[in-house]
Amino acid sequence: MDALLPGPLVGDAWLAEHLGDQRLVILDATTELPSPRHDGDYRVASGRDAWHDAHIPGSRHADLTGDLSDHTAPHHFTVPAPEDLAAALTRLGVHDGTSVVVYDNGGGIWAARLWWMLRSISVPAAVLDGGWAGWLAAGHPTQSGPAAEVPAALPGLLTPVPLPGFWADITHADAVARGERPGALVCALPAAGFDGTAPTRYARRGHIPGSLSLPGRDLLDDAGRFLPRTELAARVSAVLQAQVSPVVLYCGGGISAAAVALALTLLGREDVTLYDGSLEEWAASERPLLVTARPPR
């Protein structure tokens, strides 16, 4: 970690103390993705309006539906090429020498997605634990309305340094599923998305054969903060054996999977990769999906 950020997760009190620090860029990654009403019901929108209505002072909205995704790809939210990602981040004020704190109003999954993207090109970054809801609950200051528009970002250079092992493609995921490559496939969707009992946004319901279920939301407490380390480790170890490596995470579109990636990072695992296309890509292919009955609780 860099000298400014204490770790991959920061609390609201820490962020409140560092508001105005010129070395720190605060990004709101909120994105609107309602639950599907029926199979194939994919609706997504920028969270900029919500940011405009109220946000952490000095923050900028990072639009994951805009130039922080590769729109030449056949599925949503594909990570851009490192140079394109760096260019988009530069327009948000991220430069060499700055650190980034990301938050959202959606339980932290969008913030975790951007955090993973930032880390993949060596930008020091952290997620605000508890996000916007936690910030409000603690009584910290907010900005809203036209007067709250953040001044234009200062010019600067961001040099992307891509790191290996952050992203997996469909061929990699398929090889793990078939046992042709080592590792564990882990699905971060809720249980009903994993077993196929709930509607899906994608072409087909179900999960990749051989994958394990570790819902990202189950790693948070009722306030939307990550569970204490001991409890977090217990939740993870109940599903995932420590000796199985690497861990290939997926969900619907590589978003909830990033929250699990953050949880595993908090537990010290460094053998984590994210299948970026996830079920949106997999379900549109001819590869198999399993639909199973939810096990009794």
Q: Are 100 and 94 in contact (CB under 8 A)?
A: yes
Among candidate residues 64, 251, 264, 272, the one labeled active-site is 251
Q: Among this protein's residues, is 187 annotated catalytic? A: no
Give per-residue pLDDT as tens, 171-186: 999 999 999 999 999 9
Q: Looking at domain 9-148, what is its CATH homologous superfamily?
A: Rhodanese-like domain (3.40.250.10)
- In 31-62, which positions are buried (b, 16+ CB within 10 angstroms) versus exposed (e)? bbbeebeeeeeeeeebbbebbbebbbebbbbb
Tens of pLDDT along the chain (297 residues) come to 578 999 999 999 999 999 999 999 999 999 999 999 999 999 999 999 999 999 999 999 999 999 999 999 999 999 999 999 999 999 999 999 999 999 999 999 999 999 999 999 999 999 999 999 999 999 999 998 654 556 666 678 999 999 999 999 999 999 999 999 999 999 999 999 999 999 999 999 999 999 999 999 999 999 999 999 999 999 999 999 999 999 999 999 999 999 999 999 999 999 999 999 999 999 999 999 999 965 444
Q: Range(s) for CATH 3.40.250.10 in the chain?
A: 9-148, 167-284
Amino acid at 34: P
Q: Residue by residue, what is the 3-state secondary structure of the chain?
A: CCCCCCCCEECHHHHHHCCCCCCEEEEECCEECCCCCCCCCCCCEECHHHHHHCECCCCEECCCCCCCCCCCCCCCCCCCCHHHHHHHHHCCCCCCCCEEEEECCCCCHHHHHHHHHHHHCCCCEEEECCHHHHHHHCCCCCECCHHHCCCCCCCCCCCCCCCCCCEECHHHHHHHHCCCCCCEEEECCCHHHHHCCCCCCCCCCCECCCCEECCHHHHECCCCCECCHHHHHHHHHCCCCCCCCCEEEECCCCCHHHHHHHHHHHCCCCCEEEECCHHHHHHHCCCCCECCCCCCC
Superfamily of domain 167-284, CATH level 4: Rhodanese-like domain (3.40.250.10)
* Cα→Cα distances 281→75, 275, 289, Å: 6, 10, 12
pTM confidence score: 0.95
